[in-house]
Copies of this chain bind each other. A is one copy, B any other.
């Protein structure tokens, strides 16, 4: 990890440091467009072809049903079941509180406006498989979808070599009351959910992480169909702000937890103390030595860096420029810092709140904006699975009160039919 002094960085060098992952996968666009076109034209048969080609599996049917999921899920041990149930309960509790009825506002006498929530009817969840099986992601997407009340939840996950899904995925499906999992992965899964096939329903919005092919497919369907996506995605990242109240061993563990995700992950340390930074680097080496995924983590750590600042405020300035997906405040003074946070996905406060707890079970969602998208995007929540529809109702008094202003405004914009829709009601008392 290279170390920079904040006071020596120019505005341009900061911009260069925080820059990452701007559409690196554009060279695969044509490839992904081909897959999408093939699925659009040939439906299920294209999906069977791709399963053979990419997943090396010959599928006789495209999904697992409830009985099959139950059989697969029986391999989950009691303590694993309990851990999944703890995660489920916490995620459910936090997300359930996000669903709120809104009050009615009388903006003028007789003019009442309000918003009502409606679940997005049909949603698609993409759950990665292969080497990285992520039951936690399934919980993070399935629970808010259920709380929102989506009437159809389509789940796609790539088949393993045995033509099935992993036991944890099957178990989570059943926890969520989802009785069918489609054995479809990659950009073909995104195409299937965006266009529909003989067996897979066309959905209104697609959620979930994936490799660069999945991500590219989501970007393409977002701009070429009416199907929405949760958010743009890039490699995962963490930024840790530490001062001399931080514990180097904890900070190192947090940096490595991020680094083991993939060689393109970033683990940034912004530190007010040169000593703590040096101790953390030593701890990184020590802990790295015994990690099963050390090779991946090593490469990610090599792509990461340390910034030494003179104050926590400077550290926060750098963090806001970086706009991290995960922000850890490894300091006992975190309370003074939180009001200064402008850009971040999810924030972990103090020395006893590792990112891992949010990844799995604290209750917050782990589907978060990466690659500086936290400047404009929020993480997934129940909000992501609903629409807020506005309503307005005018009484006789209401149209009399507001009508004249609307007539003038419509005339200002040269829209006389707009004006007339009011006048005809005002004049016909």
List residues of chain A with CB under 8 Å of any chain B CB: 22-23, 79-80, 82-84, 86-87, 89-90, 93-94, 97-98, 100, 102-103, 105, 107-108, 111, 113, 115-116, 118, 120-121, 132-136, 168, 204-205, 219-220, 222-228, 232, 247, 249-250, 253-254, 256-257, 259-261, 287, 291-293, 297, 338, 341-365, 371-379, 381, 383, 387-396, 398-399, 402-406, 408-410, 412-422, 424-425, 428
Contacts and interface: CB of A to CB of B under 8 A. Distances in A.
B409 A349 contact: no
Given A204-B376, A359-B406, A363-B392, 16 more contacts: A83-B406, A120-B375, A168-B412, A205-B376, A226-B232, A226-B376, A253-B421, A254-B421, A256-B417, A287-B417, A346-B391, A349-B393, A352-B398, A357-B406, A360-B409, A362-B392
Contact of A391 (B87, B349, B376, B417): B349
Q: Is chain A's interface secondary structure helix, strand, loop, or mixed overall?
A: mixed
B22 A391 contact: no
A107 B348 CA distance: 15
Contacts of A360: 405-406, 409-410, 418
Nearest to A21: B226
Nearest to A79: B408
Contacts of A205: 376
A178 to B, nearest CB: 19
B420 A253 contact: yes
Contacts of A408: 79-80, 82-83
Nearest to A396: B352
Which of A226, A257, A402, A417 has its CB near the most chain B CB atoms (within 10 A)? A417
A315 to B, nearest CB: 17
B420 A256 contact: yes
Nearest to A294: B417
Which of A222, A365, A410 has its CB near the most chain B CB atoms (within 10 A)? A410
A121 B227 contact: no
Nearest to A345: B389
Nearest to A86: B405
B22 A354 contact: no
A354 B371 CA distance: 44
A260 B413 CA distance: 12
B342 A118 contact: yes
Nearest to A388: B378
A384 B82 CA distance: 38
Q: Which 3 A-B pairs have the closest CB atoms?
A: A107-B363, A228-B376, A83-B408
A29 to B, nearest CB: 10
Which of A257, A362, A390 has its CB near the most chain B CB atoms (within 10 A)? A390
Contacts of A111: 90, 357, 362-363
Contact of A105 (B93, B359, B413): B93
A417 B84 contact: no
A362 to B, nearest CB: 5
B389 A257 contact: no
A420 B410 CA distance: 64
Contacts of A102: 97-98
A399 B361 CA distance: 11
29 contacts: A79-B408, A80-B408, A83-B406, A89-B107, A90-B108, A105-B363, A113-B362, A116-B341, A120-B376, A204-B375, A219-B223, A220-B223, A226-B376, A250-B425, A253-B417, A253-B421, A256-B420, A257-B418, A259-B417, A260-B418, A292-B416, A293-B415, A346-B392, A355-B421, A356-B410, A357-B394, A360-B410, A377-B387, A378-B388
Nearest to A344: B389
A365 B425 CA distance: 22
A428 B403 CA distance: 69
Contacts of A398: 352-353
B416 A291 contact: yes
A226 B373 contact: yes
Contacts of A371: 226
B387 A287 contact: no
A228 B377 contact: yes
